[in-house]
Structure 1
Amino acid sequence: MTPAPARTTTPALTTTPAPLRPARLTPRDILGVGAVGLRARRARVVLSALGIAIGIATMVAVVGLSTSSRADLMSRLDRLGTNLLTAEAGKDSLGQEVKLPKSAVAMVERIGPVRHATATANVDARIRRSDVVPEERTAGVTTQAARPDLLAALNAEVAQGMWLDGPRERLPVTVLGAVAAERLGITRPGDKIMMNDRYVVVVGILEPIELVPTLDRVAMVGFPAAETYFGFDGHPTTVFERSTDASVEEVRAVLARTVNPGAGETVKVSRPSDALAAKAATDEGLTALMLGLGAVALLVGGVGVANTMVISVLERRQEIGLRRALGATRGAVRLQFLTESLLLSALGGLVGAALGAAATYGFAVVQGWTPVVPPWSLAGGLAATLLIGALAGLYPAVRAARLDPTSALNTA
């Protein structure tokens, strides 16, 4: 017999199992897991994101419209000039009206930095559309005498017709301000109106004068014509001057004493461009108020996001328990719900920023402004959105991470 082969025994290999390490979620995994809850509850997500979108849209639109308005105002100021000063006759200590000297314009022109000087004067002449209109119905239009160089000093323009230069300043003719022409129903030069008991011919209609809007409501005649036909005494009421930009304050300091030597305290000196600058400052205050309202809307949107996330945690207790039983760490669960909250807020923020920019562009175009949406307003709005999302999702995320897997899976 053939002997059986000898059995060989192999010693058993003893291996130590490697320690288990929790899986790490990549950023892509985090975004995917966080988006699952949003896709499953689309109607609720849209309503929650809408609150955030309204707040961000309000803030972006308010900043954009305010910036566009101020940019338009500043461009108008640059075009009109900020170097115009006016000196008006006031009252003395007894309350009596003070008359400026007839030579006031000539004296102002002697100030070195002054480039242009001119004047207007109140004229006692009632304005009526025709002789069938009662004398007391003046349509809110007054009469003033004006010098031929008034338009050059004010950067004003004639919309229709001609100005009171050359021989026209001596004739019974008038040029109407834009508002005065509208109130009297004058649409073109050539029509006649009544000044006291005399018919005068309208030879021109002015464009609106932004720096001196009071002149929009007057009918202007030449100084010589006012003296000849309406008993004007030749004393100016308001003196206008333009100087170099650098010397405006220096001229302003001496203008009153120059216009009326010995009684400078009775002369009121003003800078018309200050009114437009004050309007810009008023717009800034209104902007701050509207930003506060936008912040309130954003806060309300954040409360909506927090409410959505809390309800989401309550509805998904079994899902959370299953993930925890399969090895998901508390940090992974916490990160999932925090990411979901950030995505929800970011969605609302992006939609709101787009709506705010679109509203700014549309309104600015309608108003004739150059649309301006500061980049910082978009970046700040999105940053505020993410901050609101983080705060709104923090409590629900911590609550989800603290759920016990066993009790969560036993939830009916």
Structure 2
Amino acid sequence: MSNGGTHRSGADHRPAADHRPGADQRPAADRRSVADRTKPVRLAPGDVLGLGLLGIRTRKARAALSALGISIGIATMIIVMGIPASSQKALLERLSALGTNMLQATANPGQNPPVVFPPESPDMVARIGPVTIASAVANTQTTVARSDKIDPDHDTGLAVLAGRLNLLQAINGKVQTGRFLDAATEKFPTTVLGAAAATRLGITTLPPGAPGPQVYIASHWFTVIGILAPVPLAPDIDHAVLVGWDAAKSQLGFDGNPTVIYVQAQESQIEAVRAVMPATIDPQQPGLVQVSRPSDALAAKRETQTAFSALFIGLAGVALLVGGIGVANTMVISVLERRKEIGLRRALGANRGQIRGQFLAESVALSGLGGLAGTVIGALVTFGYTTSQGWPLVIPLQVLLGGIGGAVLVGVVAGVYPSIRASRLTPTEALAST
């Protein structure tokens, strides 16, 4: 029953069409499709990269000069990290070959009269469980000269040392020419020269099959039977004239007390041996015995050399900063020169985000190319230098990745302001300024 009016179905409750003049009479579905078609197109990463590379391709000289600063900084960083790392590995290999299991015992300096060790001390040290070899030398407190015509008071700076027959094994020494002292020669006036001592005395070679040259030691002539190669872990031996233990006693008045003891032990037990050596050598005065590890001295010398690496890394950072400033300057100038392009792209529908992405991608690509070139240059320079020195090539992977990553980061920082500045230009401002 109707209540004074006609009954309308649910379909009659639909909103009435807007018949106002100028209203869009198309269905809502059609209007939505039109709105979707007018939305800005999202650029794929490849398209953004292509737009970024466009500026680099059209301004090759300027791009190369801007990337050069980045390349120098990255190359310097890789070189100053790779060369010390290669040098360190070469040193460790050299120390391993020379012997990191070596100890040297000497008397503490400054004692008056000078401290000497008991004659039996090398044999006592050899009885320590992990010790594999123990040898000794003793300063005979005599002088050596090339001739008896030289003033006896003239000091050559060379020490005349009595040496035990197993000395070369204890210090990993090698004979360069001739032979070392043995049971047949240690009782006679024969001598072996260290590398530096041979040069200072003017005896660098020994004639094969002929009597060796002679040197004058404490009013006695000694025949040179051998010359040693340099001994890195025992540099005192390089400046020494070695004579047999028994010959030193019979002809030089040697009392048999050693002054330096060389020890090799199991490397895993080296610290334990080092701790007990003073009391073993001189039970009455262990505090006067100083035990050192010669390989530590070489390692410490290497550490002082690497202190310069920090300076070079700082210089690499400065070069990288200058390169970043160059990239930023190039991008700012690029924005100013390309206002017409920016205005045209904005007029065709490019939004601010797309403009920012274009110039930021260009800055990152420019820095990335510079970083890649710097990485290659740094690696090649490091390879060339290490090869010339005979070192193994060591360039940490994190340094290579850090070089490229650092260049990209510089590109991001350098491109932020220019990209924002470009995106803020309206089409009318950009086109009107050309």
TM-score, scaled relative to structure 1:
0.92
Alignment match, 2:261: 239
State the identity %. Answer: 49
CA–CA separation in structure 2 for the residues paired with 1:283 and 1:390: 35
Indicate which of 67, 73, 95 corresponds to 2:85: 67
Alignment match, 1:305: 327
Q: How big is each residue's C-alpha offset from its partner over 1:298-317, in whole Å with a ceiling of 9 and x where there is no partner?
A: 12211111111111111212
Alignment match, 1:388: 410
SS of equivalent to 2:40: coil
Alignment match, 1:404: 426
1:363 CA drift (Å): 0.9
Distance 1:121 1:330, change over 3 A: same
Aligned CA RMSD, in angstroms, stands at: 1.9
Distance 1:361 1:102, change over 3 A: same
Aligned residues: 399
1:125 CA drift (Å): 2.5
1:1-400 paired onto structure 2 within 5 Å: 16=30, 18-19=34-35, 20-90=38-108, 95-189=112-206, 190-400=212-422
1:137 CA drift (Å): 4.6
CA–CA separation in structure 1 for the residues paired with 2:153 and 2:109: 27
Residue identity opposite 1:87 in structure 2: A
| Range 235-244 or range 14-23, more displaced | 14-23
Q: How big is each residue's C-alpha offset from its partner over 1:141-188, in whole Å with a ceiling of 9 and x where there is no partner?
A: 222111100111112111111001121112222111122222223221
CA–CA separation in structure 1 for the residues paired with 2:84 and 2:68: 24
SS of equivalent to 2:185: helix
Distance 1:132 1:283, change over 3 A: same
1:130 CA drift (Å): 3.0
1:23 CA drift (Å): 2.0
CA–CA separation in structure 1 for the residues paired with 2:219 and 2:433: 97
SS of equivalent to 2:100: coil
CA–CA separation in structure 2 for the residues paired with 1:32 and 1:91: 73
Q: How big is each residue's C-alpha offset from its partner over 1:240-279, in whole Å with a ceiling of 9 and x where there is no partner?
A: 1122222222221111111112111111111112112323
SS of equivalent to 2:386: helix
1:284 CA drift (Å): 4.4
CA–CA separation in structure 2 for the residues paired with 1:325 and 1:331: 14
- Mark the runs of 5 or more structure 1 residues left unpaired by the alignment: 1-12
Kindly name which structure, 1 or 2, has the bigger radius of gyration based on alpha carbons. Answer: 2
Q: How big is each residue's C-alpha offset from its partner over 1:316-336, in whole Å with a ceiling of 9 and x where there is no partner?
A: 122211211111111111111
1:281 CA drift (Å): 3.2
1:134 CA drift (Å): 4.1
1:136 CA drift (Å): 4.8
SS of equivalent to 2:316: helix
- Mark the runs of 5 or more structure 2 residues left unpaired by the alignment: 1-24, 207-211
Q: How big is each residue's C-alpha offset from its partner over 1:14-41, in whole Å with a ceiling of 9 and x where there is no partner?
A: 5745121212222222222111111222
1:135 CA drift (Å): 4.0
Distance 1:132 1:366, change over 3 A: farther
CA–CA separation in structure 2 for the residues paired with 1:52 and 1:140: 53
Q: How big is each residue's C-alpha offset from its partner over 1:71-113, in whole Å with a ceiling of 9 and x where there is no partner?
A: 1111122222222111112358x74311211111111122222
TM-score, scaled relative to structure 2:
0.87
Residue identity opposite 2:428 in structure 1: T
Residue identity opposite 2:219 in structure 1: D
CA–CA separation in structure 1 for the residues paired with 2:62 and 2:56: 9
CA–CA separation in structure 2 for the residues paired with 1:125 and 1:187: 22
Distance 1:135 1:301, change over 3 A: farther
CA–CA separation in structure 2 for the residues paired with 1:254 and 1:191: 43
Residue identity opposite 1:25 in structure 2: L
Distance 1:238 1:46, change over 3 A: same
Q: How big is each residue's C-alpha offset from its partner over 1:37-77, in whole Å with a ceiling of 9 and x where there is no partner?
A: 11222222111111111111111111111111111111122
SS of equivalent to 1:53: helix
